[in-house]
Amino acid sequence: MVQPASLRQPEEIVRLAGFAHEIIVVAAYGLLLPPEVLRIPPLGCLNVHPSLLPRYRGAAPVAAAILAGDAVSGVSIMLLDEGMDTGPVLAQVEEPVSPDDTTGSLTTRLAKRGAELLLETLAPWAEGRLKPRPQDDEGVSYTRLITKQEGQIDWSRSAEELGRQVRAFQPWPGCFTRWKGRLLKIVQVMPLPAEPGVEPGQVVALHPPRGGVDVAVGTGQGLLGLVLVQPEGKKVMTAAEFVRGQRDFVGQRLHV
């Protein structure tokens, strides 16, 4: 396995061509292959892409599926061309998205499914028994690199949206709010029904607890139950542990 930092230098392309390979397989590489590389292997360059193309081309397909609330994700084995995930598809497999999936957990499963699908695809492709299927022009969507700032929580959004945001941005870049001028990372949450009179960003205690959650924050629609948090400079802890050390947290209004 090789992972060139760049393919812009002629010597890198020459080095890659020297491996005398029949096929090149790319997974989570993040760089477009130039035409000089695409022409090297006689069987072409294949990409293991964690989405059901043409949906979610680009840099962050797994997070995008969770953000959108998709019930199903999947893996595509595609023949690379000069575009961004635009080449014809050789094989696809679906993978259910569970309500608790994070980008980390779903990526792990998709990597396993992708490896299995690749092994099932290589021989039929090499033997000429697979016909590449051009991607449909309808349903195309692109994803971009996620930035750290996108993890900031806007409490005016709905609890369901924020729940998906927290799961999609776990483990990176993580979601956060601010408490007493310091970052408070929101690691795990549970969207809950609304409670009368609770404003967006308002922290409330739940009596009795709901689903094991005893502290929540008001949102634009519903409550967002806090399960795990991480105060700046400290370890991940349960929300109950955090509240025991910050007794004035309940009743306060977090920045929207």
Going residue by residue through the chain, which has 256 residues, state the pLDDT in tens, using 9 for 90 and above.
666 666 666 777 777 777 757 999 999 887 788 888 899 999 999 999 999 999 999 999 999 999 999 999 999 999 999 999 999 999 999 999 999 999 999 999 999 999 999 999 999 999 999 999 999 999 999 999 999 999 999 999 999 999 999 999 999 999 999 999 999 999 999 999 999 999 999 999 999 999 899 999 999 999 999 999 999 999 999 999 999 999 999 999 998 6
Three-state secondary structure of the chain: CCCCCCCCCHHHHHHHHCCCCCCEEEECCCCCCCHHHHCCCCCCEEEEECCCCCCCEECCHHHHHHHCCCCEEEEEEEECCCCCCCCCEEEEEEEECCCCCCHHHHHHHHHHHHHHHHHHHHHHHHCCCCCCECCCCCCCCEECCCCHHHHECCCCCEHHHHHHHHHHCCCCCCEEEEECCEEEEEEEEEEECCCCCCCCCEEEEEEEEECCEEEEEECCECEEEEEEEEECCCCCEEHHHHHHHCCCCCCCECCC
Domains of the chain as residue ranges with CATH = 10-143 (3.40.50.170), 148-245 (3.10.25.10)
The predicted pLDDT at position 8 comes to 67
The predicted pLDDT at position 2 comes to 63
The predicted pLDDT at position 32 comes to 86
